[in-house]
Amino acid sequence: MTISPTDIAVLAAYLAAVLLFGLWVGRGAKTASDYFLGNRTLPWPALLLSIVATETSTVTFLSIPGLAAAAAGNMTFLQITIGYIAGRLLVVAFLLPMYFEGKIFTAYEVLQKRFGRLSRRLVSMLFLLTRNTSDALRLFLTALVLQVVVGLDLTLSVFVIAAVTIVYTLIGGAKSVIWNDCVQFVVYTAGALAAIVILAGLLPGGLLAYGSSTGRLQLFDFSPTLTGSTMTFWAGLVGGAFLTAATHGTDQLMVQRYLSTSSRRDAGLALGLSGFIVLLQFGLFLLIGVGLAGLAATGAPVPNRGDQMFAWFIVEYMPVGLLGLTLAAVFAAAMSTLSSSLNASAAALVNDLIGQRDDESATTRIARWSTLGFGLLQAGLAVLFGLSGTEESTVALVLKVAGFAAGPVLGLYVFALAVPDGDERSALTGFVSGIVMLSIIAMTTSLYWAWYAAVGAILCLAASYAATLIYPQRATA
């Protein structure tokens, strides 16, 4: 299908509006507090939408519908949001208080206070490595979808998305990122709702009737297994809780949002409620997948690959104008993640590794150059993935490997809270051991990926505690 000039105009207008809006709301960011944290004055509803938009990449937007649309697919993936909610509430109760003891800039400053500078720098460097690699892969996947489905050149797609995002993030900092996240949340949600309405009209008897009659509305699976390729209630509850506690409790990408508000109460509201928004959002995406399966049952030439189904539907069935808006939603999901990644990476580099300067303007200047550097790095990596002929299955594997550190990092924070006589040597011994052991388990067993964070955290905590017994003379804070 050829994209109409109207849809191209809608998409171009959206990108221009995002850029101008980001520049406007982020104007006047001259201090480190302004640039990294919006001067700690952002309202919690904005942070709430920013948290949700940041964790919703293009991969999420396009691939979750495929889980319900695939052969024998259903809505059991929604079970992971139960764990997401539980994990967020645990973060609010146990980890969030640490971040409001003083005026810190990054999640990893608390590690220096508890253990020492080496812990802070090591975890921050790990964050920079995994974050920029994984987000470059997400940028590549976004461009790949646009290339396959829409016909846009992959390199051009990468640099259009990256250029617009870099400019408003570089100039406006955290305010531009967070307020644009709110806009992008509205845009991709509107695109998903429009898809539901269109799909419901295409199915005889409606979407829910089809889903009910075929078993695709199944929500729960209580199978007591740790392996396999589908979500169970236990993997969702326990694995999802550990995963979200790691990603939302110890990752600079999310912690930076909590620090952007004026109080622990507001941060807790934004984080706690975000889990329920994600539940509704994932439910919407999965219902789209049920509708796509119903469309395939009518004889429509829906692609066999689940991760291509929704993208194909957007191009084939969205009317002129709405197609442009929905393509803008694909860009929105990518840009919300990319902008957050750039600002968080700059914050980690400047505060954890380089150090702030006495001159605020010099610190902000370094932060802007860092933002540009990380943006070009991610764009360059995305293009290299395209030139190397990287397959989506390989990308999924690399993303999984990049996520191995999340569990051990959580274990490091739990060790800091639970073992008051543990020192830095014990903590880092357990941390490195946890990563190594989890990598071995992942590569030699069929453990379902949702358990990785839980297993990694437990291994790190156990190894760290064991190290305090091996090095008793060093086991004081």
pLDDT at residue 150 tops 80: no
CB atoms near residue 420 (< 10 Å): 10
What was the pLDDT predicted at 392? 54
Burial class (CB in 10 A: 0-12, 13-18, 19+), 236: buried
- Tell me the β-bridge partners of 227: 447
The CATH class of 5-390 is mainly alpha
Q: How confident is the model at residue 325 (pLDDT cuts 50, 70, 90)?
A: confident
Beta partners for residue 447, in sequence order? 227
- Kindly state the average pLDDT of the residues 250-274: 95
**CA 390 – CA 202 distance, rounded (Å):** 36
Structure tokens at 95: 């980890």
Question: 172-187 burial string, b = 16+ CB within 10 Å, else e?
Answer: bbbbbbbbbbbbbbeb
Residue intervals in the chain for CATH 1.20.1730.10 = 5-390
Highest mean pLDDT among 86-90, 204-208, 313-317, 443-447: 86-90
Tens digits of residue pLDDT in 207-235: 999 999 999 999 999 988 888 777 899 99
- 5-25 helix and 154-202 helix, angle to the nearest 10 degrees: 110
Give residue 477's pLDDT.
42
Query: What is residue 3's DSSP assignment?
Result: P
Identify the band that residue 145 occupies on the pLDDT scale cut at 50, 70 and 90.
Answer: confident
pLDDT band at 476 (very low <50, low <70, confident <90, very high): very low
**Residue 241 and residue 93 in contact, taking contact as beta carbons nearer than 8 Å:** no
pLDDT band at 331 (very low <50, low <70, confident <90, very high): confident
DSSP E strands, 61-156: none
| Contact assessment for residue 59 and residue 140, using Cβ atoms and an 8 Å cutoff | no
- Residue 1 has a pLDDT of 55
At 396 the pLDDT is 53
pLDDT at residue 360 is higher than 90: no
Nearest alpha carbon to residue 108 among 87, 128, 85, 79: 128
Summarize pLDDT for 52-88 with one digit per residue, the tens.
Answer: 999 888 778 888 898 899 888 999 999 999 999 999 9
Alpha helices for 1-54 (secondary structure H): 5-25, 32-37, 44-54
Of 121-125, 346-350, 389-393, 406-410, the least confident: 389-393
Cα–Cα distance measured from residue 33 to residue 260, given in angstroms and rounded to the nearest whole number: 9
- In the predicted model, is pLDDT for residue 112 greater than 60? yes
Three-class DSSP category at 227:
strand
CA 118 → CA 252, 400, 425, distances in Å? 17, 26, 10
Furthest CA-CA distance within the chain: 73
Q: What CA–CA distances, in Å, run from 102 to 37, 113, 222, 245, 305?
A: 14, 11, 44, 22, 50
Query: Residue 53 carries which side chain, given as an amino acid letter?
Result: A
- pLDDT tens digit string along 401-422? 556 778 999 999 999 999 988 9
- What confidence tens digit (pLDDT) does each residue in 27-59 have? 878 889 999 999 999 999 999 999 999 988 877
